[in-house]
Structure 1
Amino acid sequence: GQICGVVKPNRTDRHGKSWESLLALEDEIKDWVDEGLTVIKIGTLLSRRSIVVSPRTLARFASERCGASKKKTTVRVDDPPPGKELQVDFGKLGLIDDDNRKRGCHGLIFTACYSRH
């Protein structure tokens, strides 16, 4: 408390000039948050207006003042009974040598939802 008062005497609210510049745009930032824009996108829109603040400051402001990053309700989904569901994915597994040529090796991955194996 006392040291901060000496080092940063003009910050009675613990926020700097960047925060103050965001306060003037609070309603607009809240609208963007309500529209589902990310903090990164909001930062991009602000920088197009020559308003540059650190991403962390903008994230804190959006969270504390505009309702961004509120916890969403998690809904649990029961696992299906054994043998009823299988998840399939396709991906590149790597490269293999084939007659001195590197060829991509792709594969299907099957995961049983019940056992996760």
Structure 2
Amino acid sequence: MGDNNEEIGKNPKIDSQSEKFEILEKLNSQEQKFDEFAKKLQSIEESVSKIPKFDDDEKKTMMKFEKQLESLEKTMLLNNQNKKELKSEKRFALKHVFKNVTSLEEGGLCISEEEEHFNVKW
């Protein structure tokens, strides 16, 4: 048996049908894989060819818009930070001059004219 293996290794011809069949199967398998890769590559090439190409003017316009967008985003962020830092506060003072204080009764009700401050009546 050892001599037979040595003879097959030395002999360029393949002796058995099963070895021929096995080699054909491997070749077919490799060919199928190659075909699959070729189809995938062709599909990718078709997809890439559909991507629109920009000319120089379009690129400049896109860059300009991107810069403007970045600037607006920065401005919005700064405004939001400033709003958080600032605490709005509205103040006013109500004043009323009482006349005839001697005629007022203790526990009695005193009503003055309405005043409006910041769209609220006081």
Q: TM-score range by the shorter chain?
A: under 0.3
> TM-score scaled by structure 2?
0.23
Larger radius of gyration: 2
Bigger fraction of residues in strand: 1
> TM-score scaled by structure 1?
0.24
